[in-house]
Amino acid sequence: MFPRIVVKRPGKSEGESPFWISFSDLMSALMTLFLVVMAATLITVTKSVSTVEERKIQRETDIRELMAQIKEVSRQFPEVKVNETTYRIDLGDIVRFDSGRSDISTSGATFLRNYVPVLLKAQQTDIGRKWIRRIVVEGFTDQDGSYLYNLGLSLDRSRRVVCSLFALQSRDETPLSVGQKTQIRDLFLVGGYSFNSTKESKEASRRVELKVEFWALDEQSSAPPAPVSKEFGQCS
């Protein structure tokens, strides 16, 4: 008799196991996951950039609107010229100075006390509270004299503008309220430019200008400063 031959069938190969994932499938899955993560990241970054750009555009729009309002109200003062691009306000010939002098004429002081409330009202609007940082009174001189002499003179001229706002007013004027004077104290800043940025003539160079400065994005003061109870005092 022939010997019995037993043929063993091979067991199922590992390739037939439903739990086995080939290397190529694993790489495909990882690539898909990477693409999903990258897509989500790009969407987040793009949304963030879009939000920042929208805020920048809104800030510029608000500032243009505010400067347009200031310019419109300033039309009742023929001397005033508002530059909506540089945010500067030229007060005109009524606030000019004699050579080497910093005193302001009575008519000039009266004009300032009548005009400055225009800016105070603009700062009290919703847009003004949000964006106006301060108003700088900038003094200038002609080129006669040394730089440091004119630096002191230009500073004194801008200081005199602020002093005139706190001076005693004539009977026919509407007096500035304590609230307005407090607003001036907190909002106004003085600066001097010596004979830098001269005009076409010496007379036109001896001037002061007001410049509205605005908060940058995310720079706004989170809370108003604590009130100060000190007296305003007087200018010497």
pTM: 0.75
Residue pLDDT, tens place only, 127-162: 999 999 999 999 999 999 999 999 999 999 999 999
When pLDDT is averaged across residues 153-180 and rounded to a whole number, the result is 92
What is the pLDDT, as a whole number, of residue 5? 52
Q: Which residues of 28-53 are buried (b: 16+ CB within 10 A; e: fewer)?
A: eeeeeeeeeeeeeeeeeeeeeeeeee
Residue 177 CA to residue 58 CA, distance in Å, equals 33
Structure tokens at 24: 């190529």
Residue pLDDT, tens place only, 67-118: 999 999 999 999 999 999 999 999 999 999 999 999 999 999 999 999 999 9
pLDDT at residue 35 tops 80: no
pLDDT at residue 221 tops 60: no
Ranking 30-34, 92-96, 230-234 by mean pLDDT, the lowest is 30-34
What is the pLDDT, as a whole number, of residue 37? 72
81 closest CA partner among 73, 90, 93, 70? 90
Ranking 7-16, 36-45, 57-66, 90-99 by mean pLDDT, the lowest is 7-16
**Mean of the per-residue pLDDT values for the chain?**
85
What is the pLDDT, as a whole number, of residue 137? 97
- Using CA atoms, how far residue 56 sits from 53, 99, 213, 222, in Å, is 5, 44, 16, 19
Residue predicted with more confidence, 25 or 52? 52
What is the pLDDT, as a whole number, of residue 143? 93
Residue predicted with more confidence, 12 or 187? 187
Q: Hey, what domains does the chain have and what are their CATH numbers? A: 46-214 (3.30.1330.60)
What is the pLDDT, as a whole number, of residue 224? 55
Most confident of 12-26, 128-142, 188-202, 218-232: 128-142
120 closest CA partner among 178, 173, 204? 178
